[in-house]
Structures are given as structure tokens and as C-alpha cells.
Amino acid sequence: MSAEANRSLGEIHRGERMPIVLMLVLSLALLLAGLFRPFTRVTKLWFFDSDVSVYQGLITLFQEREVFLFGILVVFTVIFPLVKIATLLVLWLKPGLEARQMSRVYGFVANLSKWSMLDVFVVAVLVVLIRAGGLATIKAQDGLLLFCASVVLTQIASEWTGRIARRTFKAAD
């Protein structure tokens, strides 16, 4: 058993722990802010403006019984990003994980990452559909920028973690 057994990535790679953990914590804060801040401003017929946040949109979909859209948006814009950030934080901060367990946890994050851009795709499709109607215009608000910043930071932290994790798993073998 190596000296690195049962230590978190953060304990093994102390120099890289702080920037990645800070990125993940910032990403979590940006995600939460992005979900509740206005995401878009919708102007209908040049007179009626309304700011819409992801949270408000989810509430509206639920109230209007749009269960399928509600479910997709909850999964891909709320649950997936939260689970990904939490899982990466576990890799960096939880002591007691063996290299094999860390490998499995990172494998889970890598598989989750394959789906992580679907939330951005869903938002893009909704914007295109509304713009195609011609009766409304949509302008991005700060919630969209915060949400996108969270996605980018999480992806950078995930890739950085992946490189470090692969080195760690090779050394453990």
C-alpha cells in the first residue's frame, strides 16, 4: 500500500488543491446566482417586458403542468451541475478514498461531463424558438452570464482534476 493510499486528491496534490477548490466553490456560487438572477428579458410586441430567471421558468413550467420540460430543465440545469460540483469537491476534500474509489468517482464525473452542455443547448433551442416567432425579442441578462461562467469554471476544474487524477491513478498502479 502506497503512502498516498486513503488520502484525498487535495492531500496528495496540496499545491493544486486551493485553486481548484476555489474554482469549484466560485462555480457553485455562480450557478446558484445564475439560477435565481434574471436569465433573459423577453419583450413582446415592443411594449411588454419581463425578466425571467431559471427558477421562475421552472415554477411556471411546473404550474402549467409541463412536466416533461420541467423535468429536463431541472435535471440538466440544476441537478447535473450541482452533482458534478459536489462530486469534484468530494474528490479534492474527502480523505479516506483509495485510488480505485477515486478512479470510480472521477469516472462518474467524466460520464456526467458528457451531458453537462445539454443545459446550454436546451437554453439555446428555447431562444431560437422564441426568436423564430417574430413577436418577441430576447436579451441576455446577468443570470445567463453567471450560469455560463459557472459551466465554464466547472469544466476547467473538471479537466484539471482529470489530468491530476490520471497521474495519481498511474502512480498508484
Amino acid at 33: A
| Residue bearing the bigger pLDDT, 8 or 17 | 17
State the cell numbers at 42: 423577453
Least-confidence region, from 14-18, 38-42, 167-171: 167-171
| Residue bearing the bigger pLDDT, 42 or 154 | 154
Residue percentage of the chain with pLDDT more than 90? 20
**Averaged pLDDT score across all residues of the chain:** 80
Spatial contact of 141 and 33, defined as CB atoms under 8 Å apart = no
Report d(CA 157, CA 165) in Å as an integer: 12
Q: 9-172 — its CATH code? A: 1.20.140
Phi, psi dihedral angles at 133 (to 5 degrees): -70, -25
On the question of pLDDT at 170 being above 80, the answer is no
Give the mean pLDDT of 51-76: 86
Least-confidence region, from 12-21, 32-41, 54-63, 140-149: 12-21
Closest CA to 151 of 100, 82, 98, 93: 82
Task: Report if pTM > 0.95.
Answer: no
On the question of pLDDT at 1 being above 50, the answer is no
